[in-house]
Amino acid sequence: DAGVIQSPRHEVTEMGQEVTLRCKPISGHDYLFWYRQTMMRGLELLIYFNNNVPIDDSGMPEDRFSAKMPNASFSTLKIQPSEPRDSAVYFCASTPGAGKTQYFGPGTRLLVL
Partner 1 sequence: AQRVTQPEKLLSVFKGAPVELKCNYSYSGSPELFWYVQYSRQRLQLLLRHISRESIKGFTADLNKGETSFHLKKPFAQEEDSAMYYCALKGRNYQLIWGAGTKLIIKP
Whichever of 45 and 72 has its CB closer to partner 1, that residue is 45
Whichever of 44 and 81 has its CB closer to partner 1, that residue is 44
List of residues contacting partner 1 (CB under 8 A): 3-4, 33, 41-45, 48, 56, 91, 93, 98-99, 101-107
Which residues are bridge partners to 58 per DSSP? none
Identify whether the C-beta of residue 45 lies closer than 8 Å to the C-beta of residue 92.
no
Identify whether the C-beta of residue 31 lies closer than 8 Å to the C-beta of residue 98.
yes
Whichever of 54 and 106 has its CB closer to partner 1, that residue is 106
**Nearest of 103, 99, 81, 85 to residue 35 by alpha carbon:** 103
**Nearest of 26, 71, 24, 75 to residue 48 by alpha carbon:** 75
Find the shortest distance in angstroms from Cβ 80 to partner 1. Answer: 26
Whichever of 48 and 65 has its CB closer to partner 1, that residue is 48
Find the shortest distance in angstroms from Cβ 108 to partner 1. Answer: 11
Identify whether the C-beta of residue 53 lies closer than 8 Å to the C-beta of residue 32.
no
Find the shortest distance in angstroms from Cβ 37 to partner 1. Answer: 8
